[in-house]
Chain A
Amino acid sequence: MNSKSIHQFTNSPIHQLTNRCISNVTYLITQTLNALFSAALLFLIASGLTLAFGVMRIVNIAHGSFYMLGAYLAYTIATRTGSLLAGAIGAMAGVAIIGLAMERLFLRRLAAQPLAQMMMTMGFALVFRDAALMIWGGDPFTLPYPAPFTGSLQAGDVVFPAYRVFVIVVAAMVGVLLWVVNERTLAGARLRAAVDDPEMAAATGIDVGRVSGLVFAAGAALAAFGGVMSGPILGGYAGMDFDLLPLAFVVVIIGGMGSLKGAFVGSLVIGLVDNFGKALVPELSYFTLFAPMVIVIAIKPTGLYGRG
């Protein structure tokens, strides 16, 4: 597996800059902003993972592949067309189609067999990884920064790149959008019904199959969007598919499987723990995730907002 993202979280210019800062408060604020950036990325990835789990009980190992394919597709489209926006939209659409095809053609046959579905997604994860290696080669790359966000923001002693703030804001907007769709629209009501009780939902005339397909595709697109958003900072590299996946799983476990609110809270918790863990005890990163996970599992095995 690749260490790049982990290194880049801690070895980024921000981090080096903070090392020069004398003020502990500045350090604290900068690290918190970094943590929020990680949390934003994690939320984009984990929200699709948790929704697919909620509706279909799928433990989707290939979810990291969607994140990877998003970055790679966006890179190809952006270099061909010269437009980052076209890259982002194309990547999301492409990955959504891949996700939809996977759900329709393969996973649906295995409905209610979580283990078989998990194995299937594992197979797809390997296929995607090798396909990406075949198509794009193993060389790492980064996406260009979108033009308005190349600089940095300054408030007092705190200097923070504008792009990271942009990612945090966008992820927050996605969170609000998902919440509105989920709680305030008919489609969201159907989705919640399908999560609560697929059989009853089907009996009331909701096309649960279609809801499942759409949720899976939307989750894939969100993960791809995460890949695009992280593109200018973390970039694309071989092994990125399994890099953030375990963190996303920990987010889902802590937040409660199937819960959007849980994904939100879990992302914040893991973003903070992971970032401060890496900053304070770099050699024990990943292990620092152990503590919050263990505490939550011990107190509430279904996660903070999960249902039993």
Chain B
Amino acid sequence: MAAGSKIALFVLLVAAPPLFDSYWIGLLTQVLIFAILAMSLDILLGYTGLPSLGHAGLFGVAAYSVALLSTVHHASFWVSVAGGILAGTLVSAIFGLLVSHVRDVYFLMITLALGMVLWGLSYRWIPVTGGDNGISGIPRFDAHAGLPVSGPAPVYYMTLVAFLACSGAMTRLVRSPFGFALRGIRENERRMKSLGFNTWLHCYASYVIAGAFASVAGVVWAYYNGFVSPTYLDLTASSEVFLMVTLGGPGTLVGPALGAGAIVLLKNVMSAYTHRWLLILGIVYIVTILAAPQGVWNVLNSPPRRTRGTRR
């Protein structure tokens, strides 16, 4: 993105709370949270070429950890935040060991199954997770962090800070030598290997880093929503993140963020007018794949430098 539009967007995001009513601020908060999540998936899907279909699971682990720490264990704000990020990252570090040597469709299937295992845990481990009812009563962000102000603005600004920090860190990451190595693995792993790169370790690191950023999104989500339940980490949730990335443009960070915005807004606006948003979402999937398989952002910025941001 050009520097001018970056600054304009930044000003708009910072100045948003006084300008819009609380409904739209809430929506904007959701957009930013899912933008973090979609960008984190894109590190895997777009940059490393590893299609993860269980990403919402890691997001969920972090959100559930915050919920458990802040309600059952009455932990303080910073302990809950650190605990959430740590738990999500730890689970990614374990799962990463299981998936980093598989590629392509196999990666897709195994991450799908792992994501469903996490969902099953949230759904069936009732004594801890509350099952279908989830965990409610997560303290409000402003109260928990001890801020003197209340309303939708504090959680919005916290989300904005998290978004700016994460997108900044991810931008640096994908522009670093490490990020270019990931792209090299996506394009031709064998060549990277023969150049002396430890491709397994790169894929593992990519998975854990993506999981860590997804955890940040999960932590913020827990505070924004005040409630966690299994629906936020099921297959539909994971594939929605996948759709955000695909729709926006894999292999760019701006694209998935825009994709997240489009899907979150569509979902909320549509469900206000019709009960049939599931149908509409399904059609969005089909039309996206047929009309813009490389993502809207890549189409807008044509001629694309690559045909597709993902491994064949």
Taking beta carbons and an 8 Å cutoff, which residues of A are in contact with B? 1, 3, 6, 53, 57, 59, 61, 106, 109-110, 112-116, 118-120, 122-127, 129-131, 133-134, 242, 245-246, 249-250, 252-253, 257, 282-287, 289-290, 293-294, 297-298, 301-302
CB of A297 within 8 A of CB of B98, answer yes
Could you show 16 A-B contacts with beta carbons less than 8 Å apart? A1-B231, A3-B123, A3-B132, A109-B290, A113-B293, A113-B312, A116-B293, A118-B105, A122-B282, A122-B285, A129-B278, A246-B113, A246-B116, A249-B112, A286-B124, A287-B120
What mask results when residues 89 to 120 of chain B are scored 1 for a CB within 8 Å of chain A, else 0? 00000000010011011101110111011011
A112 touches B312 (CB 8 A): yes
Contact A287 B117 (CB under 8 A): yes
Residues of B close to A250: CB separation below 8 A: 113, 116
Q: With contacts A119-B243, A123-B289 known, is A301 near B104, CB below 8 A?
A: no
In this complex, the member of B234, B289, B310 whose beta carbon has the largest number of chain A beta carbons within 10 angstroms is B289
B175 within 8 A of A: no
Q: Is the CB of A120 within 8 A of B132?
A: no
- Is B60 in contact with chain A by the CB < 8 A criterion? no
Q: Give the complex CA separation of A122 and B236 in angstroms.
A: 8
Residues of B bordering A, CB below 8 Å = 51, 53, 98, 101-102, 104-106, 108-110, 112-114, 116-117, 119-121, 123-127, 132, 230-231, 234-236, 239, 242-243, 246, 276, 278-279, 281-286, 288-290, 293, 310, 312
B286 and A257 contact, CB distance less than 8 A: no
Q: Contact: A126 with B281, CB < 8 Å?
A: yes
- Quick one: given A130-B278, A242-B236, A283-B127, are A118 and B113 in contact (CB under 8 Å)? no
Known: A119-B288, A120-B285, A123-B283. A253 touches B109 (CB 8 A): yes
Flag if B125 contacts A284 (CB, 8 Å).
Answer: yes
Please report the C-alpha to C-alpha distance between residue A118 and residue B112 in the assembled complex, in whole angstroms.
12
Q: Are B289 and A289 in contact (CB under 8 A)?
A: no
Tell me, rounded to whole Å, the shortest Cβ–Cβ distance linking A140 to chain B: 16
Minimum C-beta distance from A52 to chain B (A): 12
User: In the bound complex, what is the Cα–Cα distance between A134 and B274 (angstroms)?
Assistant: 13
Complex contacts, B117 vs chain A, CB 8 Å: 286-287, 289-290, 293
In the complex, residue of chain A having the shortest beta-carbon distance to the beta carbon of B126: A283
A285 contacts across to B, CB distance below 8 A: 120, 124
